[in-house]
Amino acid sequence: MRESTIMQIHYGTAIAAVALVAVHVLMRLTQGFADSLEYENVLANYKFIPYAIMLELILVLLSIHGFNGLRVILLELKQGRLYEKAVSYGCLAAMIGLIAYGSRTIIITNMGMV
Amino acid sequence: MAQISSIANEQTSTPASSSKSITLRISRYNPEYDSSSKFMEFTVSYQKWTTVLDTILEVKQYFDHSIAVRYSCRQASCGSCGMMINGKPRLACFTKITELNSNVITVEPMSNFPIIRDLAVKFERMFESHHKIKPYLIRDDSEIESDTKEFLQSPKEVEQYIQFANCIKCGLCNSACPTMATDSSFVGPQALAQAYRYVADSRDKGKDTRLKIIDESHGIWRCHFAGSCSQVCPKGVDPAMGIQLLRGYLLGFRS
Amino acid sequence: MTHDEHKEGIRGMANPRRYGIERVAYWLMRLSGLGLLAYFVAHIYETSNILRGQVGWDELMEMTSTTEGHIILTLVIGMCVFHTVNGIRVMLGHGGVGVGKPARPDYPYDPASQNYRHKIGIYSAIVLAAVAMMYGMAVMFGE
């Protein structure tokens, strides 16, 4: 993938994530911070499909943005074909792993299998 | 632009007849004999107009002839005398002792450039990066073929790139850049600014070629707009501006 | 640092001094980015405790609703706000917005791209982060 395409994705995920994370944070504040973190309320959030979709989107967007940022920092620290391939694929694997792990939580909780 | 700059700000008004002295610490390193660099200290007198280069040459003349230093024009035109002065890349001929506001002046070779000896560094990597971005007009025809026997440009068109044409290849920007500090493959702010110089030139038709060259993992995308290159540029080239304007083409903000 | 290349290395890259507030912003951006990534990974892991039911969730709340947990969250709030606001400033800069127009340079050769607009953006990011941290602390420690 061309670096300009990767960076366009990096910027796009940043802008989209800002809006969604703001909603996520506001949910804690409007409900009352401590109350919003009660088990029943959190469960209700996960079971509400639009909110679950929003959480999934945040997970995907921030994983992409965060691990691409880490990839950029690591690529600048050291160079070499093998190292650069390892960093790129390692960050991709970490990204996919985190998305998979987080999605598992969202899907299982949303389906009421808790 | 009316901005007060610290470059011309002098703290002392020393009369011509009296002179003070400073301690000049010069980094000495010969890769053939030394395992690491060391500093040698010299006490040098200075006056209101004395530059760092003047003090180095005085030390070279009267104390230690073996100090290796590159210099030529003494007027910030050739870009030869770039070095780290009190931790910041500057031109030695363009930096007055009085503007440093310090009794101790430490001069070291420019960082991110391999050292030849003492204060002289190698410029091969910077020249290679510069060459990579094709620093010449790219077009199929030549001016001989046109009716006017020259490529016409309005003053407005010249204004679009003339600032970046002021580059004297001193390398201070590459020395200051935080990405250059760790990334051996990064093209550097000097090359990127020159890429913009040609892309912005109305006579040039090689925009796509150059954009393709810099659109790589160690190209323009490893610039993060820290702006240190522009902070140290002695000729007002403002490489950071050029790089961000160039990036606009790749992001689709400009066509 | 490879002595042959005479690179400044990580120390040079991570040194926020010498080059003005823009270099400090670059350094803070990196620091906050790495901090937020670490928190994000931890957050995904800690919220997976919901799968352990009420017991698991309450254990998690006990661990995180401590003074230390609140302080960490306050830092995360600060990092998040700074990274966001400064990130928007940087993205605009990357698009060529607010970096000035090319012009014939004249002594003292002040760089147009290091202008008050971007400096205000950076200071705003820092101030907003501080305000957000104070608000966060008021919410968390106020309950």
Does residue B113 contact residue B171 with C-beta atoms inside 8 Å? Answer: yes
- Phi, psi (5° rounding) for residue A50? -60, -40
Instruction: Give the minimum alpha-carbon distance from A95 to chain B in angstroms, rounded to a whole number.
Output: 19
What ipTM score was computed for the predicted complex, to two decimals? 0.90
Name the token pair of A73: 């920092």
Q: What is the model's pLDDT at position B13?
A: 41
Q: CB of A37 within 8 Å of any CB in chain C?
A: yes
Residue whose C-alpha is closest to residue B55's, from B83, B87, B29 = B83
Q: Is pLDDT at B216 greater than 50 in this prediction?
A: yes
Q: What is the model's pLDDT at position A29?
A: 80
Q: Is pLDDT at B207 greater than 70 in this prediction?
A: yes
Mean pLDDT check: name the lowest of A39-53, A87-101, B15-29, B182-196: B15-29
Give the model confidence (pLDDT) of B1-17 as tens digits. 334 444 444 444 444 44
Among the partner residues B215, B222, B251, nearest to A76 by beta-carbon distance: B222
Q: What is the model's pLDDT at position C73?
A: 92
Q: Which residues of A touch B179 (CB under 8 A)?
A: 76
Q: CB of C51 within 8 Å of any CB in chain B?
A: no
Give the model confidence (pLDDT) of A56-76 as tens digits. 999 999 999 999 999 999 999
Residue of B nearest to A75 (CA): B183
Q: CB of A26 within 8 Å of any CB in chain C?
A: no
Q: Is pLDDT at A42 greater than 90 in this prediction?
A: no
Name the token pair of B177: 């850049």
Instruction: Give the minimum alpha-carbon distance from A40 to chain C in angstroms, rounded to a whole number.
Output: 8
Does residue A51 contact residue A42 with C-beta atoms inside 8 Å? Answer: no
Helix (H) / strand (E) containing B121 = strand B120-121
**Most B CBs within 10 Å, among A8, A76, A88, to test the B interface:** A76
**Cβ contact C51–A114 (<8 Å):** yes
Q: What is the model's pLDDT at position B1?
A: 39
Q: Is pLDDT at B144 greater than 60 in this prediction?
A: yes
Q: Which residues of A touch C138 (CB under 8 A)?
A: none
Mean pLDDT of all residues in chain B?
A: 90
Partners of chain B (3+ Cβ pairs below 8 A): A, C
Kindly tell me the burial class for residue B65, based on how many C-beta atoms sit within 10 Å of its own C-beta (0-12, 13-18, 19 or more): exposed
Give the model confidence (pLDDT) of A88-104 as tens digits. 999 999 999 999 999 99
Which pLDDT band, with edges at 50, 70 and 90, does A82 fall under? very high
Percent of chain B with pLDDT over 70: 93
Cis peptide before C108 (omega within 30 of 0): yes
Partners of chain A (3+ Cβ pairs below 8 A): B, C
Q: Is pLDDT at A54 greater than 80 in this prediction?
A: yes
Does residue B74 contact residue B49 with C-beta atoms inside 8 Å? Answer: no
CA dist., res. C101 & res. C113, Å (int): 8
**Cβ contact C37–A69 (<8 Å):** yes
**Cβ contact B186–A76 (<8 Å):** yes
Does residue B140 contact residue B205 with C-beta atoms inside 8 Å? Answer: yes
Say how far residue C129 (Cα) sits from the centre of its chain: 9
Q: CB of A98 within 8 Å of any CB in chain C?
A: yes
Angle at B164 between CA B172 and CA B107, to 5 degrees: 10
Domains of chain A: 3-110 (1.20.1300)
Q: CB of A99 within 8 Å of any CB in chain C?
A: no
Scanning chain C, the segments in alpha helix (DSSP H) are 9-14, 21-47, 53-64, 67-94, 116-142
Residue with tokens 């147009």: C112
**Helix or strand or coil: residue C71?**
helix
Kindly tell me the burial class for residue C104, based on how many C-beta atoms sit within 10 Å of its own C-beta (0-12, 13-18, 19 or more): exposed
**Most A CBs within 10 Å, among B125, B221, B246, to test the A interface:** B221
Q: Is pLDDT at B66 greater than 90 in this prediction?
A: yes
Helix (H) / strand (E) containing B20 = strand B20-28
Q: What is the model's pLDDT at position B201?
A: 95
Which pLDDT band, with edges at 50, 70 and 90, does A1 fall under? confident
Instruction: Give the minimum alpha-carbon distance from A102 to chain C in angstroms, rounded to a whole number.
Output: 6
**Most C CBs within 10 Å, among B182, B223, B233, B246, to test the C interface:** B182
CA dist., res. C143 & res. C141, Å (int): 6
Give the model confidence (pLDDT) of C18-31 as tens digits. 888 999 999 999 99
Does residue C43 contact residue C76 with C-beta atoms inside 8 Å? Answer: no
- Phi, psi (5° rounding) for residue B116? -85, -55
Mean pLDDT of all residues in chain A?
A: 91
CA dist., res. C26 & res. C13, Å (int): 10
pLDDT along chain C (143 residues), means of 10: 69 81 94 96 92 88 88 94 96 90 89 92 96 91 74
Among the partner residues A11, A75, A77, nearest to B217 by beta-carbon distance: A75
Name the token pair of B199: 């892309």
Instruction: Give the minimum alpha-carbon distance from B24 to chain C in angstroms, rounded to a whole number.
Output: 20
